[in-house]
Amino acid sequence: MLKLDLHIHSQYSEDGVGTHLEISKILKKKGLNGMAITDHNTVEGGLSALKVASKDFVVIPGIEISTKDGHIIALNVKENIPRSLTVEETVEKIIDMGGIPIVPHLYRSLSGIKEKKLKKIIKKVPAIEVFNSCSVLQTNLKTMKIAKKFNLGGTGGSDSHIPSFAGEAYTIIDINSLNIDSIISSIEKKKTWGEGKTLDLNYRRDRMIKSVKQFFKRGFKRI
């Protein structure tokens, strides 16, 4: 069984800090087998991590894209995808690049796509993020019910923006192979799930305050 944190931000996100080397070191200490760097609207962090990945630690390049309707994670992509498209257009571009679209933090007020939009892409998305460490437990439980309702797989991610919290949530994959293709195949077949811990209230509060300040600073534009 593998454990991978599939939602991490590095210094390449405007609201993140830490290098991929710092992040991977912490994940290894926590017993995880790999990660996906999913910086906001850039694959640069994921590609940097992939270049120096060791054979005993999986790195899946990724990106968290800001669509008109909320955020979408693309796994296993190596090129940037334009922001501010509709969620349907964004999902199509992810698939055209050979990537996998994952819906993170479904109900988050400023960046979740919400259930109404999920229904429009439901046939093209194999999994949604059922455990996000920055979300409250009730929201994660609600998202788990949605995944089961629509027969979707689940992923887990810390959504960490600082290295120390990476790995607090993770995706469970019931295989022993560290081969990326095998891992991607398991996600596509809806055979994964997410588990983890909710981050400390003080950290989540500070993250929320920082996000709101950045929202105003950007002129009421989402990241």
* Per-residue pLDDT in tens (0 to 9) along the chain, 223 residues: 999 999 999 999 988 899 999 999 999 999 999 999 999 999 999 999 999 888 899 999 999 999 999 999 999 999 999 999 999 999 999 999 999 999 999 988 778 898 899 999 999 999 999 999 999 999 999 999 999 999 999 999 999 999 999 999 999 999 999 999 999 999 999 999 999 999 876 766 666 666 666 555 556 566 6
What integer pLDDT is reported at residue 15 of this predicted model? 85
Give a yes or no: residue 65 inside a domain: yes
Give a yes or no: residue 95 inside a domain: yes
What integer pLDDT is reported at residue 202 of this predicted model? 72
- 120, with CB counted inside 10 A (0-12, 13-18, 19+), is middle
DSSP state, residue 165: G
State the total domains in the chain.
1
Distances (CA, A) of 180 to 60, 172, 192: 7, 14, 14
Distances (CA, A) of 173 to 94, 180, 184: 22, 12, 10
For residues 135 and 198, is the Cβ–Cβ distance under 8 A?
yes
Give a yes or no: residue 223 inside a domain: no
What integer pLDDT is reported at residue 217 of this predicted model? 59
For residues 14 and 42, is the Cβ–Cβ distance under 8 A?
no
Give a yes or no: residue 44 inside a domain: yes
Q: Is the dihedral of CA 101, 178, 5, 25 positive or negative?
A: negative
* Strand positions, DSSP E, 133-188: 153-157, 169-173
What CATH number is given to the structural domain containing 186? 3.20.20.140
Give a yes or no: residue 222 inside a domain: no
- Say whether 137 sits in a helix, a strand or coil: helix
The range of the structural domain enclosing residue 117 comes to 2-217
Strands 192-196, 100-103: pairing is unpaired
State pTM to two decimals.
0.91
* Strand positions, DSSP E, 85-143: 100-103, 127-132
What integer pLDDT is reported at residue 108 of this predicted model? 87
